[in-house]
Amino acid sequence: METKLPIVGADASGGKGSPKGRQITQAKMSTVEIVSDPGEGAQKCAQIFGAISAKMGNGVWTVEIIPAEIQPPPRLPAGASGNRIRIGSVPVTNWGDRSKVVVALNDQVLLARHRLDALEDDAIVLIENMWKDHTDEDIRQQWVDAMEEVSDRNYRIIEIPMEEECLKIVDNPRRGKNMWVLGLLCYLYDRDLELAAAQIADTFRKKAQEITDRNVELLNAGFSWAAENLGFGFEVRPIGDDRPHVVMNGNEALAMGAVASGMDLAAMYPITPATSVSHHLGEEFLKFGGLLHQAEDEIAAAGVAIGASWSGKCAFTITSGPGLALKTEFIGLAIMTEIPLVVVDVQRGGPSTGLPTKVEQSDLLAALYGQPGDAPRVVIAPATIEECFYSMITARKIAEAFRTVVMVLSDANLATGVSPFPRPELDPSWVAAPPDLSPIPEGLRPYDWDPQTGLSRRFIPGSPGGMHTLTGLAHDEGSKVAYDSEINQRASAMRSRKLAVFQSTLKPPSVNGPEEGDMLVVGWGSTKGAIEEAVEEAREEGLSVSNLHLTFLSPLEPGLKEIFSRFKKVVTIEINYSDEPDDPYITPENRRLGQLAWLLRAHILVDVDCWTRVLGEPLRPGAILNAIREKMPEGGVS
């Protein structure tokens, strides 16, 4: 079957042997994707490309494209695996809307991206051409069908003989094509080849030298082929920030933050997408005197962390939604016994096992209220990869100062996204002083709450005069089991009071944009970059809109009612589920809202609207912009 396809062979528009006649497109931002079947190394290729772009001074944000299955069958759209990399001559805070360039290692993974509307209408598609003439007739037909399907867009499709070229160097191109593609991309984006080679060497540092050599050879071959055959390229200038930077993903930043804060113990059980926090800790924690413990299950991990903290160590546990559910009882114990604990929840799609590899912000209410009984705790949400690092230091301090549980809500977007940020200057003060083991003054009890603040001295086992029984049962000031009707009321009040006291020390959040107007967009967590980009674009269109991003979700930051009162409409933007107002059976009375919207309405008594999506991917600025346009109150255009 023949179809009219927008396919060209190796591009000749710049003339063979360019770069002389090479067409260079200058771009403030450019987004490129590399997609393949799992196991072909597209992610490694993209990670290296992102890292060298960051090292060359570009703003970078990468997002992993991960199939829901660990090892799906090959050549399936659902199995597309790879990475989107957005690089800029300004800081990049989100993954953008659609990609300008895509390198696809087969036609089916290209289809996956096409169907998700992930590519610009005039995207440049660089596709492996071996499938077109494959010996298997079904595969040849799939190629034809795929090209037919994508022909509704104006893609510029360039067939690349990746397999053929890689076979000149390796016997199995499946293990090497990614580095050849890296070379090709280095040519297109004018990346420093020496830097790329160094990054490859670092990536494969634990393997034999010949592995590195072979990969560098593939890199150079890809670059040379592109120089011979592709007559175009992109110029994305560096930001011009001379400060030394580090490049890492959010999970690595959480791990490094834990190390920098002097945490003593991390207890966890593997769970996507939180596990890699422990991978990074596994490499570094021990060197700094920390201990990483993989427990037999999520519950045990929480128990180990609480035990360590009770004995005077600073401990945290790492999990994701389903694990958080399992830890519920132990978190209640930490709150009841007032043992400091930091809980990191890297949110994924849910409920149940849900979408393990995909992003959502659906754990907010579970993090706030997911305990039987009254169990107040602090909840904070870093919005950037840099904040993932620093949030751990603050979380530790608050947990210890207030003898409480602090939950750090990250998500799969931050967890796997890679972005550069200024190298932290380590401060010895981040490492807390050794626990106070001085003798307990005569008569002082483990829960002698200050009636004003609810705070009390932390008793560490071994402190002379501090012997007491620890219990999760209702207890009095002396930690003795007590069912006295007054005691539970008093103890509950004291545990709750600590949050009020902490809230009294928070500053009102700042508004990004005019202090008053038609619409205020409110977000939390990893959506910050996309929301700000959309809001700024909306303002450029003349819409009267500002945004505010919350970091402390329990207790809520103060002054929100007053801020909200200055806007005609308040809308939360979130990656969790809410009913559409126009859907069947949905009324204002039964409509289920985004989780932050619920929270704000309950606390602030303001009619907060929401726009939320659970598409298994980060929010796109363009989609948020559309939502802003749709939800603008009457007369919103100024």
Partner 1 sequence: MPSEDRIAQALEAISDTKDFFVSSVAMSAEEVRGVLERERGVNENPQVRLAHELGPFAAGRIDLERLAPVIGVNETLGEETRRKIQSAFEALMDLKKAGDEIFTAKVPLDGYLRGTVFAALGRVGVAFGAARSVEWALHDIAPPEGVEDALERFPPNLWNRAERGCSPPIVIEVEGQDLRAASLGELLEGSQKIVLVVNGPAAPAPLVRLITPGVTVIQTDDPTQLSALAASPGPGVAALMPEGAAKFTHVPGEGKGLNERLNVEYLPEKEPKRALGAISAFQQVEELRQLASMTASVEAMATMEVESGSGAPPMDEAGQLASWLIHQANFTGV
Interface with partner 1 (CB under 8 A): 261-262, 286-290, 382, 387, 390-391, 393-394, 397-398, 401-402, 427-434, 436-439, 453, 455, 501, 504-507, 509-510, 551-552, 557
- How do 545-550 and 511-512 pair as beta strands? antiparallel
Q: For partner 1, give the closer residue by CB, 311 or 488.
A: 311
CA–CA distances in Å: residue 558 to residues 77, 501, 547, 604: 47, 12, 16, 10
Q: Rounded to the nearest whole angstrom, what is the least distance from the CB of residue 384 to partner 1 in the complex?
A: 10
Q: For partner 1, give the closer residue by CB, 145 or 557.
A: 557
Q: Rounded to the nearest whole angstrom, what is the least distance from the CB of residue 387 to partner 1 in the complex?
A: 6
Of 597, 606, 338, 581, nearest to 459 (Cα)?
Answer: 338
Q: Rounded to the nearest whole angstrom, what is the least distance from the CB of residue 434 to partner 1 in the complex?
A: 6
Q: For partner 1, give the closer residue by CB, 273 or 290.
A: 290
Q: For partner 1, give the closer residue by CB, 308 or 608.
A: 308
In whole angstroms, give the CA distance from residue 455 to residue 459. 12
Q: Rounded to the nearest whole angstrom, what is the least distance from the CB of residue 507 to partner 1 in the complex?
A: 5
Of 121, 111, 180, 116, nearest to 153 (Cα)?
Answer: 121
Q: For partner 1, give the closer residue by CB, 107 or 387.
A: 387
Q: Rounded to the nearest whole angstrom, what is the least distance from the CB of residue 427 to partner 1 in the complex?
A: 5
535 phi/psi in degrees, rounded to 5:
-65, -40
Q: Rounded to the nearest whole angstrom, what is the least distance from the CB of residue 429 to partner 1 in the complex?
A: 3
Q: For partner 1, give the closer residue by CB, 427 or 630.
A: 427
- Alpha helices by DSSP H, listed for 88-242, are 107-115, 137-150, 162-167, 177-188, 193-203, 209-229
Q: Which residues contact 330 (CB under 8 A, 6 or more apart)?
A: 299, 302, 303, 306
Q: For partner 1, give the closer residue by CB, 153 or 397.
A: 397
In whole angstroms, give the CA distance from residue 62 to residue 84. 6
In whole angstroms, give the CA distance from residue 522 to residue 600. 10
Give the HSE-up count for residue 133: Cα atoms under 13 Å, Cβ half-sphere. 7
Q: Rounded to the nearest whole angstrom, what is the least distance from the CB of residue 314 to partner 1 in the complex?
A: 11
Which DSSP state fits 91? -
Q: Which residues contact 572 (CB under 8 A, 6 or more apart)?
A: 521, 522, 523, 593, 594, 596, 597, 600, 608, 609, 610, 611, 612
In whole angstroms, give the CA distance from residue 6 to residue 516. 50
Q: Rounded to the nearest whole angstrom, what is the least distance from the CB of residue 433 to partner 1 in the complex?
A: 5
Q: Rounded to the nearest whole angstrom, what is the least distance from the CB of residue 424 to partner 1 in the complex?
A: 8
Q: For partner 1, give the closer residue by CB, 166 or 379.
A: 379
Q: For partner 1, give the closer residue by CB, 272 or 391.
A: 391
In single-letter form, the type of residue at position 313 comes to: K
Q: Rounded to the nearest whole angstrom, what is the least distance from the CB of residue 596 to partner 1 in the complex?
A: 17
Whether the Cβ atoms of residue 539 and residue 532 lie closer than 8 Å to each other: no
Sheet containing strand 315-319, strands side by side:
291-294, 265-268, 315-319, 341-347, 405-411, 378-380, 552-554
What's the N-to-C CA distance of the chain in angstroms? 55
Q: For partner 1, give the closer residue by CB, 340 or 370.
A: 340
For residue 259 the two structure tokens come to: 């190390």
